Chain A
Amino acid sequence: MGTYLLPKSSIHLWLSKLLSRYAVFVPIEVEKQIHWHLLEPKDLETEPDSITPAQRRIRASEPVKSFMFEPRQQVASFPDALTFKQPGPRVLLGIKSCDLAALKVHDKILGEGEFKDPFYLAQRKNTLLVVADCPEPEQSCFCNLLGLTPYAAEGGDAALSVVDGNWLLDVNESGKELVDAAPELFTDLREGSSELARRDEQRHAALVSLNLTNARPWNPDLAGAVAAKLDDPAFWNKHAETCVECFGCLMGCPTCYCFLLYDQAKGAGVERTRTWDACYEAAYARVGGGANPRAEFIKRFANRFSCKFSAFKTDHGMYACTGCGRCFKACMGKIDIRKVLGEL
């Protein structure tokens, strides 16, 4: 739709306008880690730079799926059917390019096809996504190896860059309402403007830094390479050696979408809950009769890779990994997925 400049002095004004229409979530820094925070009016009484999210270096610790595919959610009841509550409108101001890619994975599974998840779709449709550039990718970021850029190349409702403290917003048609909340605060940016040139420089620098950190390209056919390794237990044993089966890598992963349905008696009826699940769990694939096709951990370990890099690629044309680095940041065994993939 257009590219706009929001001067530093207007940022809080705009956010306060947004607050009157949406629940606005921003990433904030707590003890050097980045977490999502529900913006409150009092947050805007501070200096513009203290709460506004654009300057956050990288993605939040929490995977963005938490907003659409809740960690624990009631999805049905019995005998009376669950009545569906429409959620209110939200803005996620400052997701990253890797987060956006992760949502595409969930879109494929929960939002497309014959059976759609009404809970996911309601939250997804009610949420505007503003994708902020990553000015300083960290050592754990490897989105470049998965074909992503540290800024929104496409998709989302708007892209946000910070140039000299001012905000640049590249707004798609779907994000028009964000600007419409206070159009007087925005000025059009023309192609060739110095601000846009500065933004492009910053973006380029971020890419260069990522390419330095992750210089060695992977096997161009990861899907085939993972599939070919499945009957080589020595390979997986070597990499799984320090795994303590805590499932941290799976719970934090923004693309993992496995879930468990369980029922609990509630009064005279039943409540059905959905929770995130982990394919490393020993009983994950066990059938009612007791047989378990992945009883050995090593099979479950390899299964995670074949699911993300082989099956998902074959079925949906993309890897179910975005290079966000959450899995090995969480890993107490210090298993680095880059190392595993690098040896394929």
Chain B
Amino acid sequence: MSNPYQPIPATILETHDETPNIRTFKLKPEREIPFLAGQFVELTVPGYGEAPFTPSSSHFKRDTFDMTIMKVGRATSALFDLKPGDRVGARGPFGQRYPLEKFEGKDIYIVGGGVGLAPLRALFLALVHEIGKYQRIFLRYGARTPADIVYKHLLPEWQKIPKVDIDLSVDVSDEKWMKKVGVVTCLMDEIPCDEKSSIAVVCGPPIMMKFVNQKLLDAGFQGGDIYLSMETNMSCGVGQCRHCRLGPYLTCKDGPVLTWDQIKDLENPFV
């Protein structure tokens, strides 16, 4: 019987600094981890513990995968000290994927904040890989300052993809910034898709998700069509240890992406 707590070694192939405290790691696992967009992987930083991250690369190419990670605590700080060639551990995939079959034929309105664009990138790449299946893809992304934007080098490429529409905002601009200034909801005053039949996907800090979700509901999006990445303390990944409990859900098993309809009755889903 397989051991769900046992990580497999994964070699860091290269790293890319997205911002002063966010880095993308390209990893080559010893065996393929068959993730689908939305699912997550538990990453072991040898000697420092484990933390859950959602791959940020396309699930159509899985011999390697990317993880875009912000330096926030002990394990991630130790991870930032590792170099290409070093090994980390990985186990997964865990949780539920985005139900892409439900997205077919529809407009998809993606809203990201800060490092929250990382898991959304896996979704975005899966969507554009089969772009014919979907209507249009809107990406609205907000960061604190222009320097805090992740995937700066990729965004201009993505904008060139037909049927893709991208807009950005920053809370605090600099002299070169030509786009909107304000929190990401300032990009949502006009939503150029049919809200009643479109899909919305949101990932970012809890406070941002709270306001974005409200704005989507006010605009007329259906609660069952708003997909939110819930951040809870996911540890075992397999629905056993109970740390990630969110009302009736275990986010590691039922999530981490849940719809607004699933969580709307919880006391305070965005902590």
Contacts and interface: CB of A to CB of B under 8 A. Distances in A.
A77 to B, nearest CB: 8
Contacts of A263: 44, 46-50
Given A78-B7, A289-B72, A293-B232, A261 B47 contact: no
Contacts of A230: 267
A210 to B, nearest CB: 30
A314 B87 CA distance: 42
B9 A311 contact: no
Contact of A109 (B3, B44, B49, B240): B240
Contacts of A76: 3, 5-7
B9 A79 contact: yes
B241 interface: yes
B239 interface: yes
Contacts of A79: 9, 46, 87, 89
A81 B5 CA distance: 10
B243 interface: yes
A121 interface: yes
A226 to B, nearest CB: 12
A34 interface: no
B20 interface: no
Interface in A29-80: 75-79
Nearest to A290: B72
Contacts of A290: 72
B240 A110 contact: yes
Contacts of A272: 5-6, 44
B1 A258 contact: no
A125 B72 CA distance: 42
B241 A258 contact: yes
B233 A284 contact: yes
Among B89, B235, B245, chain A packs the most CB atoms within 10 A around the CB of B245
A257 B242 contact: yes
- Bin the interface of chain A by size: 35 or more
A136 interface: no
Contacts of B87: 79
A261 B73 CA distance: 17
B233 A264 contact: no
Interface in A275-317: 277, 279, 284-293, 303, 307, 311, 314-315
B248 A269 contact: no
B240 to A, nearest CB: 5
Interface in B170-226: 205-206
B76 interface: yes
B46 A81 contact: no
B13 interface: no
Nearest to B1: A118
Interface of A: 75-79, 81-82, 84, 109-110, 113-118, 121, 230-231, 257-265, 269-270, 272, 274, 277, 279, 284-293, 303, 307, 311, 314-315
6 contacts: A109-B239, A259-B236, A261-B50, A285-B232, A289-B72, A289-B231
Q: 8 closest pairs, A vs B, by CB?
A: A115-B238, A265-B47, A293-B271, A76-B6, A75-B5, A118-B1, A258-B242, A115-B4
